[in-house]
Structure formats: structure tokens, C-alpha cells
Amino acid sequence: MEDGVLKEGFLVKRGHIVHNWKARWFILRQNTLLYYKLEGGRRVTPPKGRILLDGCTITCPCLEYENRPLLIKLKTRTSTEYFLEACSREERDSWAFEITGAIHAGQPGKVQQLHTQKNSFKLPPHISLHRIVDKMHDSSSGIRPCPNMEQGSTYKKTFLGSSLVDWLISSSFAASRLEGVTLASMLMEENFLRPVGVRSMGAIRSGDLAEQFLDDSTALYTFAESYKRKVSSKEEVSLSTMELSGTVIKQGYLSKQGHKRKNWKVRRFVLRKDPAFLHYYDPSKEENRPVGGFSLRGSLVSALEDNGVPTGVKGNVQGNLFKVITKDDTHYYIQASSKAERAEWIEAIKKLT
């Protein structure tokens, strides 16, 4: 990584004038967050814009967009607001941590505080679990249950474990993810919440309060009084439903060459197993539905040489390319942001082919 670069990678940014969403390459330095356009798989210089971090405030999790749960909001000293979306909860929190550190770089005590995670949590005496549940039910600021799917079964009126922890933090009931998980476990222990599905039910059997509630996007929960389950019959399960029922094992932003126009666009890739599929999503769109995908059974994956432009690749593309050839001989050309990231994706895909 270049000197002075604290973190870099893709984030999806909301436009200032027209509120559309576009993938940009971000570089975090000690006092500035730079962002770049990409054309033909290459970063365009000079930067498209820069965010001065001195005097910034950061909000994470930011729940202002219901369909975009992985947002960070930055508000500058001049009250300009930037909304940035990451590809996963882990990546969002990593960006938020590094940006917060850069904002407070001149305050060693504050930076040290960021590195110290509380090991115990007790509910403040002025807050009752009943009050938290009442707030969760609030029609405007509460958490909204909706249908979610796990392993081919659809569960009504449920919410994700990571979404509930986000909500507890954003509503100031918890100050960290550890506190949020512990508080959610208390809500389950007092029978305000119930786990739904194989993963969440399995966690309950561990018996450890700190590990009963799963802070991830594959664990499902519901209000105890609205516990309902609808299992899709085999006849009702469409091919796409089955494709998307597998366990997510890796996700991230990658550039992909189009099949027809051969142009390069940033997509959010999600790798699943059981069944093994690689899907990709358009991060500029609100709906969380894949725009493409393919089965990995019988596929071949390999790195492409960084010297020159490989056969089948169009444009003045930087390195870190790899290719997936599906069982029906469709070729996908994909670009990672680094050699290490390319190696990680190739290794993960190979295990499922």
C-alpha cells in the first residue's frame, strides 16, 4: 500500500445533486478521503473529489435508507453530508473504524479509546427491556420485520441479526456491537425475541449468553408473539430461490467485463455454497436482487497474466484479473483490487468447483 494510505477500496457513494448511487474507488489518508472514477477498469486521475476529515462527524450504522443497511454517513465541518455504502457489515465497520481514527488522529487518547473494547455490559438502570421492545415496534423509527429466506424456507416477519444490532446502536441502546449482541441476547432470554431458522436455533444451544445471539446477515429473529413459519414446498421453490439459499462464504466489490459491450463495471459479488453459486449485484440499484450469476459446479477459475492485455479482455485494464469458465463454456472476466484479493477469490471459488 502507498505511503500514507490507511485504507483503500470500493465504496458506493450517493451523488450530491442527483441522488443516484455510483461505485467509486476510495483512498483514506490521515486527513483526507479521496474518491476516483473508474473507466475501462482503470482509476481515473486526478480524484473526482475529496472529503476533508478535520471536524467531520461519522454515523455508523446509518439507517437513513431502509434498503441500504451498510451505510456510513460523514458530515463535514461545513455540514455537507456524504453517504457511503460498503459491501458487507465487516467491511463497513472496518472503514468506519479507520475513518474515525483518521478524524481523531490528533487526539491520542481518543484513538486509544477506539482500540479498547468493553468486555462487560450491564443494562443502564433507567432503560428497561420493555421500553426497548416498545421502541422496536414503533412504526416510524422501529425495526421493520419482513419475509426472509434460509435454506429454501421463507420465514415471515423476521429481521437479520446484524440489522438488529445496527438498530440497537443507532437508537443509542448500545455503544458497540458487543453491547448490542449482549442486549439482544437479554431480549431473547426474557422471551421478547425468538430465534428463527437453523443457524439461530443452533446458537441457542451453545449456552453462552455472549454467543447466543448471532451478529450476522444469515441469522434470523422475530418478535416472540409473531412467530410464524412458512416453508416453501419443493414445487414452489424456483431455481433462483434455490440458487440464493446457500450459505454466504465471501462477498466484495469487483470489476466485471460485460458480455456484449465489453465495458467494465463494479459489481458486488456474493459467493455461496450448498448450492455453489457466484452471483453479482448492481450496487447502484436499490433492490437487492442479482443481475447475474452462475453455478460453480464444473467451472474453471484461473489468474490472468498482469503483463499486457490478456486475450478476451477489452480496454486499458490494470492487472489483478482472473477468469471463470462455466460448465457451459461461458467466460467471465473479473478484476480484483489487488493480487492478494485475487488470490483469495480464486482459492474460495476453487473449493466449490
Peptide bond into 275 cis (omega under 30): yes
Lowest pLDDT segment from 3-17, 105-119, 232-246: 105-119
| Domains identified in the chain, total number | 3
Assigned domain for 110 exists: yes
Residue 169 is predicted with a pLDDT of: 92
Assigned domain for 237 exists: no
Contact 40, 315 (CB under 8 A): yes
Domain boundary among 57, 84, 118: 118
Q: What percent of the chain has a predicted confidence (pLDDT) above 90?
A: 43
Assigned domain for 235 exists: no
Assigned domain for 239 exists: no
User: Residue 258 belongs to a domain with what CATH number?
Assistant: 2.30.29.30
Assigned domain for 327 exists: yes
Asked if pLDDT for residue 327 goes beyond 50, the answer is: yes
pTM across the whole model: 0.72
In this structure, which amino acid lies at residue 347?
E
Assigned domain for 295 exists: yes
Same domain, 212 and 186: yes
Residue 108's pLDDT band, with cuts at 50, 70 and 90, is: low
Same domain, 10 and 101: yes
Which of 69, 70, 72 has the alpha carbon at shortest distance from 59? 72
Same domain, 73 and 15: yes
Contact 341, 252 (CB under 8 A): yes
Domain boundary among 65, 89, 118: 118
* pLDDT tens track for 256-275: 998 888 889 999 999 999 89
Burial class (CB in 10 A: 0-12, 13-18, 19+), 79: exposed
Domain of residue 222 covers 129-230
Beta bridge partners of 32: 52
Q: DSSP assignment, residue 48?
A: S
Same domain, 253 and 337: yes
Where b means 16+ CB within 10 Å and e means fewer, 319-335 reads bbbbbbebeeeeebbbb
Residue 331's pLDDT band, with cuts at 50, 70 and 90, is: very high
Question: What is the total residue count of the chain?
Answer: 353
Q: Tell me the average pLDDT across 124-143.
A: 83
Asked if pLDDT for residue 166 goes beyond 80, the answer is: yes
Residue 118 is predicted with a pLDDT of: 35
Same domain, 133 and 110: no
Same domain, 154 and 111: no
Residue 78 is predicted with a pLDDT of: 92
What DSSP string describes 38-78? Answer: EETTEE-SS-SEEEE-TT-EEEEEE-SSTT-TTEEEEE-TT
Contact 34, 21 (CB under 8 A): no
Same domain, 220 and 280: no
Angle separating helix axes 129-136 and 177-189, nearest 10 degrees: 100
Same domain, 290 and 323: yes
Set of cell numbers at residue 190? 426474557
Same domain, 24 and 103: yes
Distance of CA 138 to the CA centre of its chain: 26
Same domain, 66 and 134: no
Same domain, 226 and 285: no
Set of cell numbers at residue 155? 420465514
Domain boundary among 168, 199, 230: 230
Which of 47, 49, 59 has the alpha carbon at shortest distance from 83? 59
Assigned domain for 218 exists: yes
Rg, C-alpha atoms of the chain: 22
Beta bridge partners of 295: 277
Assigned domain for 99 exists: yes
Same domain, 50 and 28: yes
Residue 236's pLDDT band, with cuts at 50, 70 and 90, is: very low
